[in-house]
Structure 1
Amino acid sequence: MVNSYKQSIILLGNKSDPLIKKMINLLMRDGKRSKAETVLNKTLQSLDSEYPGRAIHIFYLGIFAVRQDIGVRLKPKPKTRRNKRSFNVYLPRVISPICGLHLGMRSLLKASRDRSSISPLWENLSKELLKASQNDGEVIDKRYNLNKLAGSNKRRIHFGIRY
């Protein structure tokens, strides 16, 4: 038991790291910080059991793989005129790097929550992080589809950075 406690201290030893703090804040529900830290600890421990010494590296690779650079905003349909069809217009926008990291982390957590209700969240999160670090998985596919949609509609707008 002492060994696992030391291991969890080692894995989350740097709680002042901004990405780890943000992940804990996104995991936290109803102010239960210790439960969120436990979930992240178990996630990193399961990654460490499969890949010894590489858990933090996999965590960072997964986070940076899912960050978003471009977002798409849906412009409302114009008024329909006689004999003309109205259609949806997707307006691409450039997202700042910090906001893109946070959006990627949110999409990673959403995918792990939607993955399966049978297995615990920390197990799903470790699987999603591992797949994202290998440039595979549901979150990466969504990112590529979003980039393709933004690329096909890039003639509609000049890019501007949104903070």
Structure 2
Amino acid sequence: MGQKKMLYNKKNKEPFNFLGVKSDPLVKKMINLLMRDGKRSKAENVLDKAFQALDQKYPGRALHVFYLGIFEAKRDVGIRLKPKPKPRGQNNPYNVYIPYMISPICGLNLGMRAILKASREHSLSSPFWDNLSQEFIQASQGKGDVISKKYILNRLAGSNKRRAHLSIRRWSPFIS
């Protein structure tokens, strides 16, 4: 009677919680990012419904789509805006962007946050869990707002790679 609500497969009504999905580190992190005001059960329900929607479109592959979407949205490069120097002689009217490397764990975290932000920006006519599942699908296919913003950021970092040696003293893919 006191069982937790688990995901169910529509075909045979078996629980979707195979191999302990909720004990998975990335699923735990996503639940923590979804959680507002300490409402863990609501965050778990939203993620469960998103997994159910993924399971309807891709039977048995919901966790695979989730992982693929997060790994596609993972950030490798960050950009920071260099503060403008005091005007002495030459004035640089353009913003100076300095690229920097992001650690893999921090990159996964930023990718998950970007997926959540993009799903929150979708229309309010459909429920949030549906928007979240759509973002996972689009990210796993290499499409959508999250991936396009990632590529724009990488292009900006590539165009400013000559400035990377100012802030990075170790090996970097920008230094050629």
Higher gyration radius (CA): 2
Q: Displacement of 1:117 after TM fit?
A: 1.4
Deviation per CA, 1:80-114: give whole Å up to 9, x if none: 34563433110100000000000000000000000
Instruction: Please tell me whether the aligned partners of residues 11 and 44 of structure 1 are also in contact (alpha carbons under 8 angstroms).
Output: no
Question: 2:154 matched to which residue of 1?
Answer: 147
Q: Unaligned stretches of 5+ in structure 1?
A: none
Question: 1:156 matched to which residue of 2?
Answer: 163
Count of matched residue positions in the alignment of Structure 1 and Structure 2: 159
Q: Displacement of 1:11 after TM fit?
A: 4.0
Say if 2:145 is the partner of 1:138. Answer: yes
* Structure that is richer in helix per residue: 1
The whole-number CA distance in structure 2 between the counterparts of 1:34 and 1:47 is: 20
User: Pick from 61, 64, 67: which aligns with 1:57?
Assistant: 64
CA RMSD of aligned residues (A): 2.1
Instruction: Please tell me whether the aligned partners of residues 94 and 160 of structure 1 are also in contact (alpha carbons under 8 angstroms).
Output: no
User: Pick from 62, 80, 86: which aligns with 2:93?
Assistant: 86
Say if 2:16 is the partner of 1:10. Answer: yes
The whole-number CA distance in structure 1 between the counterparts of 2:27 and 2:38 is: 16
Bigger shift: 5-14 or 29-38?
5-14
| Structure 2 counterpart SS, 1:74 | strand
Q: TM-score, normalised by structure 2?
A: 0.83
Instruction: Please tell me whether the aligned partners of residues 98 and 157 of structure 2 are also in contact (alpha carbons under 8 angstroms).
Output: yes
The whole-number CA distance in structure 2 between the counterparts of 1:104 and 1:123 is: 19
Instruction: Please tell me whether the aligned partners of residues 11 and 45 of structure 1 are also in contact (alpha carbons under 8 angstroms).
Output: no
Give the aligned residue type for 2:16. Answer: I
Instruction: Please tell me whether the aligned partners of residues 78 and 86 of structure 1 are also in contact (alpha carbons under 8 angstroms).
Output: no
| Structure 2 counterpart SS, 1:64 | helix
Instruction: Please tell me whether the aligned partners of residues 71 and 92 of structure 1 are also in contact (alpha carbons under 8 angstroms).
Output: yes
Give the aligned residue type for 1:147. Answer: N
Which one scores higher on RCO, CA 8 angstroms, separation ≥ 6?
Answer: 1
Say if 2:70 is the partner of 1:69. Answer: no
Question: 2:43 matched to which residue of 1?
Answer: 36
Q: TM-score, normalised by structure 1?
A: 0.90
Pick closer, same or farther for the CA change 1:47–1:87 going to 2, 3 Å: same
Say if 2:163 is the partner of 1:124. Answer: no
Q: Unaligned stretches of 5+ in structure 2?
A: 10-14, 171-176
Q: Percent of counterpart pairs with the same letter?
A: 62
